[in-house]
């Protein structure tokens, strides 16, 4: 990977295309093209042969609904924004005020610095300084890389550069697009054995339930989503022969998109993107492989403990057909 910006124009930033989210970099490899913003290291778009595989953000203004975000240092929610870590009582800002939660970590709207750029890949870095809601010191590195056959792979590495152990979790937040037909006509396939039950008003965990064969959330074999509302986390995830979690969405016309992730992602949030605004309703399927479940900073479930100097790295990939 080159440590300097190349002369190929595909990887140079377009300052007019995403000014409110910093420079926009375009990556190209074979039939794939991706766009990445400096703010949040957001994956703004991913196409195959010109067809969108993700729901895009508006060209101007802030990112909407965390489309394409990297979510860290916690995925999903912290109820009341309050958690205890090694005897410290910590209060994070309530960024989901209507539900009284701290939502989706701290880095999605933060400016990253490009440190390495090539025609088909980019590396961006952010130093997350201690704050009242997260008094820990991390260095985050996001690497987006395109391959002409396998599509986009994103790798997120976190290093604790502070002086105390830090709680940590991470996930992506893409909205997958299978094809031009409505989401209700797409087929979903994902091998999940358990669903996290949540409160209706705040979407906070209450327990887990097994997914019975033939029940509403049983997508072990591909089937049409229909009008089913999904905004749930799943675990007991099946793996393919490469030990990868696979989530595949296929449109009636035969086009589709697949997200895969390694075994460090033991949880998966899926959301049908239901919104009250017709122009935003059910445009894509949010698929979020997570290293820990919702409200993990309060429950402690699968939270990564990063010791000073310790690294954590996780990757996921998106391909289309």
Residue 11: predicted pLDDT = 57
Note whether 205 and 75 are within 8 A (CB).
no
Domain ranges of the chain: 9-320
Residues 165-220: pLDDT tens digits?
999 999 999 999 999 999 999 999 999 999 999 999 999 999 999 999 999 999 99
Q: How far is CA 56 from CA 68, 93, 161, 312, in A?
A: 8, 27, 34, 29
On whether the pTM is more than 0.85, the answer is: yes
Note whether 105 and 72 are within 8 A (CB).
yes
SS3 label, residue 20: helix
- The CATH code belonging to domain 9-320 is 2.70.98.10
3-state secondary structure 269-307: EEECCCCCCHHHCCCCEEEEEECCCCCHHHHCCCCEEEC
Alpha carbon distance 321, 319 (integer Å): 7
Read off the tokens for 212: 């019975």
As to burial, measured by CB atoms within 10 angstroms (0-12 exposed, 13-18 middle, 19+ buried), residue 257 is buried
Nearest to 189 by CA among 246, 269, 252: 246
Residue 135: predicted pLDDT = 98
Alpha carbon distance 14, 259 (integer Å): 27
Helical ranges in 55-130 per DSSP H: none
Residue 12: predicted pLDDT = 56
Alpha carbon distance 178, 187 (integer Å): 9
Q: Which residues pair with 91 in a beta bridge?
A: 82
Note whether 317 and 265 are within 8 A (CB).
no
Residue numbers in the chain where pLDDT is lower than 70:
1-19
Q: Which residues pair with 286 in a beta bridge?
A: 175, 271
Residues 46-62: pLDDT tens digits?
999 999 999 999 988 99
Alpha carbon distance 194, 104 (integer Å): 22
Residue 241: predicted pLDDT = 85
Give the phi and the psi of residue 183 in degrees, each rounded to 5: -55, -40
Residue 206: predicted pLDDT = 97
Residue 15: predicted pLDDT = 45
Report strand pairing: 32-37 vs 24-29. antiparallel
Q: Which residues contact 62 (CB under 8 A, 6 or more apart)?
A: 20, 21, 109
Note whether 25 and 117 are within 8 A (CB).
yes
Read off the tokens for 185: 């006509």
> Where does residue 92 fall: left (phi above 0), alpha (psi -120 to 50 degrees), or beta otherwise?
beta
């Amino acid at each position: 990977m080159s440590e300097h910006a190349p002369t190929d124009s595909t990887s140079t930033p377009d300052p007019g295309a995403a000014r409110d989210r910093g420079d926009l970099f375009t990556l190209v490899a074979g039939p794939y093209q991706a766009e990445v913003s400096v703010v949040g290291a957001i994956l703004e778009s991913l196409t195959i042969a010109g067809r969108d595989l993700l729901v895009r953000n508006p060209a101007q203004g802030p990112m909407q609904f965390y489309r394409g975000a990297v979510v860290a240092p916690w995925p999903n929610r912290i109820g009341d924004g309050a958690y205890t870590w090694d005897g410290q009582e910590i209060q994070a800002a309530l960024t989901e005020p209507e539900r009284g939660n701290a939502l989706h970590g701290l880095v999605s709207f933060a400016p990253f610095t490009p440190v390495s750029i090539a025609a088909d890949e980019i590396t961006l870095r952010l130093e997350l300084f201690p704050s009242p809601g997260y008094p820990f010191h991390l260095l985050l590195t996001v690497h987006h890389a395109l391959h002409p056959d396998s599509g986009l792979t994103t790798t997120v590495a976190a290093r604790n550069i502070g002086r105390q152990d830090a709680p940590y979790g991470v996930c992506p937040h893409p909205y997958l697009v299978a094809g031009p037909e409505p989401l209700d006509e797409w087929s979903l396939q994902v091998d999940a054995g358990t669903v996290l039950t949540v409160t209706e008003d705040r979407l906070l965990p209450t327990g887990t339930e097994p997914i019975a064969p033939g029940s509403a959330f049983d997508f072990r074999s591909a089937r049409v989503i229909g009008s089913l509302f999904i905004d749930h986390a799943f675990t007991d995830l099946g793996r393919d022969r490469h030990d990868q979690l696979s989530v595949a969405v296929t449109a009636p016309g035969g086009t589709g998109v697949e997200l895969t992730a390694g075994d460090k992602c033991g949880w998966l949030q899926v959301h049908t993107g239901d919104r009250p605004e017709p122009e935003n309703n059910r445009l894509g399927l949010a698929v979020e492989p997570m290293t820990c479940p919702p409200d993990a900073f309060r429950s402690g479930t699968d939270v990564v403990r990063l010791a000073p100097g310790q690294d954590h790295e996780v990757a996921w990939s998106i391909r289309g057909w």
